[in-house]
């Protein structure tokens, strides 16, 4: 049964029987650190409750990964990823050993189903197992499966909406193994878009109130994830096959640099004066065009017809002029995300550096916030 499918960690969405043994006796989640294993870097964030309310950013660290260590959400070089986590932990200098990890959306199958209301936990679990087998293209013994009852079905009090999430065990086990290899314990396994949504709650107030449609555009190394949120809930998502690695390759080709030299130049400067016109501007325009395309798909595949704001996240969001380029093409107010803007900062944090790093820490921030999630 599903109880056996989660031995060492919790998926955050699930409540009740599928939690770790005796987890319902805990008053709160134990201290943990958010660890985002991306395709270009490992990012770790530790948060604490602030004395006056809200949160404090205690520590964070970013450690680069070589190309192909992680690709398409898969860890290809476990030892390399483990080493990056070890270096990040050394820089973090924390005593906490519990971590919250995440799977990319591409590695997780999610499905909303309708089930009869009023089922007891055993019957609900059995029904989920049966229904999930219709949507998961793998043998059930090969997957980790979880679910959450979202609430009553619209217009039908006799049914409830249940969210099912499943991933192949190999995807989960590789991430857990990377953490365990450096002495850390994975206590929660999240899904990257869910973590990004949780972090987005920290900046939601800055983009208007109720009934606003906000497009969260996460420009990663290899893909750009576009999620449209309405009142904090996802109503649309799309993955565009473009990311920061394309810019790195274009810099290499244009100026005859190695991949490492191109990446350093992209992040720290020192490229020829013609770089912005010859390489950066066309790349920004390409990203903006993909955002326009994603929004057009949103309009064409949903009953909605407006986006009120665009929030950029990921490493690509920090590139000079990116927000302006997206706003110019979409004609929608666009800003760069900073989930820590309303948080207190510990004395360890350098504000100027954080301003540069914040867009790429959205998922890690969301994972760190699971420490305070009562579910």
DSSP tag of 276: I
Distance CA 350, CA 354 (A): 6
Question: Is residue 345 predicted with pLDDT exceeding 60?
Answer: yes
CA terminus-to-terminus distance, the chain: 21
In sign, the C-alpha dihedral spanning 100, 105, 107, 113 is: positive
Per-residue pLDDT, 374:
65
Mean pLDDT taken over the chain: 87
What CA–CA distance (Å, rounded) separates 282 from 38? Answer: 25
pLDDT tens for each residue of 247-293:
999 999 999 999 889 988 998 889 999 999 999 999 999 999 999 99
Assess whether pLDDT exceeds 70 at residue 104: yes
Q: Which fold has domain 2-106+170-195+364-372?
A: Nucleotidyltransferase; domain 5 (3.30.420)
pLDDT at 85 over 90: yes
Instruction: For 126-260, list the strands marked E by DSSP.
Output: 143-153, 156-168, 185-191, 213-219, 224-230, 233-240
Q: Is the dihedral of CA 219, 81, 349, 56 positive or negative?
A: positive
Per-domain residue ranges for the chain?
2-106+170-195+364-372, 107-168, 206-337
Mean pLDDT of 125-142: 85
Of 215, 220, 210, whose CA–CA distance to 234 is shortest?
A: 215
Written as six digits, the tokens of 13 are: 């969405």
Q: Indicate the CATH number for domain 107-168.
A: 3.30.1490.300
Which pLDDT does position 133 carry in this prediction?
A: 86
pLDDT digits (tens, 9 = 90+) for 166-213: 888 888 899 999 999 999 999 988 889 889 988 988 887 666 567 889
Q: Does domain 206-337 have CATH number 3.40.640.10?
A: no
Q: What would the pLDDT profile of 19-53 be if each residue is shown by its tens digit?
A: 333 333 333 567 999 999 998 999 999 999 998 88
pTM for this entry: 0.85
pLDDT reported for residue 210:
73
CA distance 289 to 161: 36
Q: Do domains 2-106+170-195+364-372 and 206-337 have the same CATH topology?
A: yes
Give the pLDDT confidence of 356-372 residue by residue, as tens digits. Answer: 999 999 999 999 999 98
Which pair of structure tokens corresponds to residue 173? 């086990």
Q: Angle at Cα 237 formed by Cα 34 and Cα 125, nearest 5°?
A: 70
The tens digit of pLDDT for each residue in 199-208 reads: 988 887 666 5
Neighbours of 14 (CB within 10 A): 19
């Amino acid at each position: 049964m599903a109880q056996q499918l989660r031995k060492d960690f919790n998926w955050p969405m699930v409540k009740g029987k599928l939690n770790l043994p005796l987890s319902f006796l805990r008053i709160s989640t134990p201290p943990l650190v958010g660890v985002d294993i991306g395709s270009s870097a490992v990012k770790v964030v530790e948060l604490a409750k602030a004395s006056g309310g809200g949160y404090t950013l205690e520590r964070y660290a970013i450690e680069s990964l070589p190309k192909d260590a992680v690709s398409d959400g898969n860890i290809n070089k476990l030892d390399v990823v483990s080493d990056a986590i070890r270096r990040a932990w050394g820089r973090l200098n924390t005593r906490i050993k519990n971590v919250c990890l995440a799977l990319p959306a591409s590695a997780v199958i999610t499905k909303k189903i309708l089930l009869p209301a009023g089922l007891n936990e055993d019957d609900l679990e059995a029904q989920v197992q049966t229904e999930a087998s219709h949507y998961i293209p793998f043998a059930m013994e090969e997957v980790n499966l979880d679910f959450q009852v979202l609430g009553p079905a619209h217009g039908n009090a006799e049914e409830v909406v249940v969210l099912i999430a499943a991933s192949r065990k190999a995807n989960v086990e590789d991430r857990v193994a990377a953490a365990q290899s450096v002495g850390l314990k994975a206590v929660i396994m999240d899904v990257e878009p869910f973590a990004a949504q949780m972090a987005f709650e920290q900046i939601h107030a800055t983009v208007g109130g109720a009934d606003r449609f906000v497009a969260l555009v996460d420009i990663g190394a290899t893909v750009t994830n576009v999620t449209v949120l309405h009142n904090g809930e996802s109503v649309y998502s799309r993955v565009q096959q473009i990311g920061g690695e394309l810019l790195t390759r274009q810099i290499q080709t244009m100026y005859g640099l190695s991949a490492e030299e191109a990446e350093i130049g992209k992040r720290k400067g020192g490229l020829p004066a013609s770089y912005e016109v010859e390489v950066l501007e066309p790349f920004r325009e390409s990203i903006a065009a993909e955002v326009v395309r994603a929004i057009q798909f949103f309009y064409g595949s949903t009953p909605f017809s407006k986006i009120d704001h665009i929030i950029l996240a990921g490493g690509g969001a920090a590139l000079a002029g990116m927000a302006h380029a997206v706003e110019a093409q979409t004609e929608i107010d666009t800003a760069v995300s900073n989930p820590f803007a309303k948080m207190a900062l510990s004395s360890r944090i350098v504000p100027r550096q954080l301003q540069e790093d914040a867009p790429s820490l959205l998922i890690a921030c969301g994972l760190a916030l699971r420490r305070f999630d009562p579910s």
